[in-house]
Amino acid sequence: MKILVSDDVNEQGVALLREHYDVDVKTNLPPEELLKVIGEYDGLVTRSQTQVTQEVIDAATNLKVIGRAGVGVDNINIPAATARGIVVVNAPDSNTVAAAEHTIGMMLAMTRHIPQAHQSIQEGKWDRKSFTGIQLQGKTVGIIGIGHVGGRVAKRLEAMEMTVLAYDPYVTEEYAKNLGVEQVDFETLLTRSDYITIHTPLTKETRDMINAESIAKMKDGVRLINCARGECFDVEAVAEGLKSGKIAGAAIDVYPNEPLTKDNNPFLGMFNVVQTAHLGASTIEAQVGVAVDVAYGVIEALEGKPVMTAVNMAPIPKNVAAIIQPYFALAEHLGTIGIYLANGPVKSVEVEYSGELSETETQHLTTAFLKGLLNPILQDSVNYVNAPGLAKKRDISVKETKSHKAGYYTTAITATITTSSGSKHIIAGTLFDGKLPKIVQIDQFRIDFTPEGYLLLAPHVDQPNMIGQMATILGKAGININGMQVGSTTKSGTNIMAIAVGDDIPNDIMLQLSGIEGILDVKLIHCEG
């Protein structure tokens, strides 16, 4: 077999591949040249430069695996690769130490004005008074997101004798306790922290999480660090806070628009800012690590072994695939909606299969459910291979059961989600005409809707004008209603509305909806996660 390495990948990873296969290193190939040669290769290893487009995948007639030496796979057309049965693997864990250490370095550099003092020395000055800093010891640091990177940051800051607060609504109390951090809500973290560092994936909830409103709640003189995702900061709001003195300092490695230039850098010329050019993973060890890890992933894929770092579906026996293939989307949608229903740390899930699914292997569908459950809340790339391991790491108990009894639907998937607080939520689905996923039960409510786009779920008191009030508020806000259904329950006096809307709903409109008398709860669910 032949492997093409199309970007600069550490030699240790290349050497590992050469122990097993013929390897050609051809970097900086123009797109037209890549198209000419890609058909010769069984494997492709890239970093971020090579664009693995639909056209490239169509030309890759022998390609079985694509390895990305790093975390992000934005340069690879994943759906096209999956449709062709090409395994895509990455290296999600190899740079976590590098990112954590860069965070600490940025924090220290900002606090002690190290870059500014260095520049002063380089200019021939001896100025000690201008660069007086503060000590980290005894200060309170708030960490938003305590996954792989955030957890490592927490351990290092504890060793520096700081008080560590953590906000992460999707980890259990036990997990936080094992890290030695105090778990708090978001507002408490904002008001108590002298330093705030963010380590989350980019989601609807985390985009612009640090904005003018959240900055206003922070201590005067707070210091901010972002080595995670540029879009988690409203950089204009942060810049204004730095100018006003509300924010004493900022250390920033990532930006909404990269590369950063003089024209799009809101922090240009600010003394109280330390900036780096997305260097969080740029260590020798991390580059060796991602190269070696992706090499192992490519080798495992070509040998037909399970690949723990695959970002698309693992192989499934043909006889099993014939039965379960139509249910993958349904299972994943059930998980995605389930995490919104849980609204907090999940302790356990039980997935029950009935009808024809009770007669076949269903562990792949359970994995799809876990993928849907975890993907909206984790910074890590969640896939059909690593989802069970990620659930185990988060102390989520997973149980799979089969029901051979005839139920309300011929074949169905029913999931029961139990949170760490003891609350339980049930969500069930089936296929319409054997193809179209349908959600047919949420908790005690019978319902029937297609899980796509944005969905408003509103349990409410069964009384006149409930639908009318919701529709009026949405209409006045210019939000289009694509569909609506009211689900009933055997419990008298309550129903649930499922309203499909065309787009996201602003927080102020959500507050208006939840304020309607008789509305028991309102959740906006992005069904695609």
Active site residues: 229, 258, 278
C-alpha separations of 442 from 416, 426, 439 in Å: 10, 6, 8
CA–CA distance, 426 with 405 (Å, rounded to integer): 19
Burial class (CB in 10 A: 0-12, 13-18, 19+), 70: buried
Point out which residues pair with 61 in neighbouring strands: none
- Report the chain's terminal Cα–Cα distance, integer Å: 37
Residue (of 273, 336, 335) closest to 116 by Cα position: 273
Element holding 494 (H helix, E strand)? strand 494-501
CA–CA separation, 236 vs 211, rounded Å? Answer: 8
d(CA 395, CA 195): 29
> What are the C-alpha distances in Å from 315 to residues 73, 148, 306, 309, 387?
20, 27, 8, 14, 15
414, HSE (Cβ side, Cα atoms, 13 Å): 22
Which of 456, 419, 432, 422 lies closest to 337, judged by CA? 456
Closest CA to 311 of 391, 384, 203, 388: 384
Q: How far apart are CA 193 and CA 247, in angstroms?
A: 12
Which residues make Cβ contacts (< 8 Å) with residue 170, sequence separation at least 6? 339, 344, 345, 346, 377, 378, 394
The C-alpha atoms of residue 143 and residue 176 are separated, in whole angstroms, by 11
- Cβ–Cβ contacts within 10 Å for residue 348, how many? 16
Burial class (CB in 10 A: 0-12, 13-18, 19+), 153: buried
d(CA 351, CA 388): 13
Ramachandran angles phi, psi of 409, nearest 5°: -120, 150
C-beta neighbour count of 480 within 10 angstroms: 10
One-letter amino acid identity for 266?
A: P
Q: CA angle, corner 269, sides to 263 and 271, nearest 5? A: 150
Element (H, E) at 460: strand 454-461
**Dihedral over alpha carbons 304, 310, 311, 312 (to 10 degrees):** 20
